[in-house]
Amino acid sequence: MTVTGSLVQTLHRINRQKADINGQLQRGPKLVAASEAKLKAAKDHVLATKDKLTKAKMAAHAKQLQMSEREQKIRSWQGKMNAAKENREYQALKDQIAADTQANLVLSDEILDLLESIDALGVELKEVEADVKTKQSEFAQVQKQVTDRRMVLESELSRVQAELDKAEAELSGDVRRDYMKLVSSKGDDGMAELDGKCCGGCYQSLTPALLDRLIMNQSIACPSCGRLVYQNLHR
C-alpha cells in the first residue's frame, strides 16, 4: 500500500471514534435489558412472597380448623366420660381426651409459628412491593437515558461517518480496496501507530527499510500482522 502516514493516522483516529460510538450504541440496549431483568426479578420476588403468604394462611386455617374439630371431640368425650358406667370405658375416654389435648397443644404451637411466619411474610411483602416500585422507576429512567443518549450518539455517528467518507475518498485503486478489506476484517484494529521500532499492533520489530519509509511520512503494512502502520509525526 502506498499512502501517507498522516492519512492513515487520520483514518485510524476516525475509525476509533466510530468504533467507540458504535460500542456505546450497543451498550445501551444491554443496560436496558439488565435493568428490565432486575425489575422482573423483583416482580418474581413479589409473586413468590405472595404465594408463600397464601400457603401459610391456608396452612394456619387448616390447623385452626383441625384444632377446633378436635376440641369438639374432646367436649363430646368429656360428656361420655362423665356418663360412663364402667371404669374401663371411663379410662379409655380419659386417655383419648389426654392424647387429643396434648395433640392440640402441639397444634397450637404450630399455629403460633405459622401466625408469626404470616406476620413476617406480610412485612416482607411490603418491602418487596416497594422494591418493585423502585426498580420500575429505575427502569424508566434507564430507558429515557438510553433513548436520549442514542439520539446524541446517532447524530455524532453521522458526523464521524461523513468525516470518514471524506478521508477515505482520498484512497483509490488497490490502496482503497486493500484498506476496505482490512477495515472490514479488523475494524479500527486494522491500523496501528509505530511503537518505538515495532508495530503498535503486534509489537514485532520492523526492518530499517520500513522504518525509513515511516520517517518519510509513508505508511507500511506490517509484514507480521498486516496492519497499516504509521508514525505520529505530531508528537
Whole-angstrom Cα distance, residue 182 to residue 227?
Answer: 8
Position 146 scores a pLDDT of: 97
Whole-angstrom Cα distance, residue 157 to residue 77?
Answer: 88
- Structural domains of the chain ordered from first start: 25-170 (1.10.287.1490), 171-235 (no CATH)
Q: Is the dihedral of CA 64, 68, 74, 77 positive or negative?
A: negative
In tens, the pLDDT along 100-153 reads 999 999 999 999 999 999 999 999 999 999 999 999 999 999 999 999 999 999
DSSP state of 228: E
In tens, the pLDDT along 182-211 reads 999 999 999 999 999 999 999 999 999 999
Judged by DSSP in three states, 1 sits in coil
In tens, the pLDDT along 22-66 reads 999 999 999 999 999 999 999 999 999 999 999 999 999 999 999
DSSP state of 48: H
Q: Which of 97, 112, 100 is nearest to 66 (CA)?
A: 100
| Percentage of the residues of the chain whose pLDDT score is greater than 90 | 89
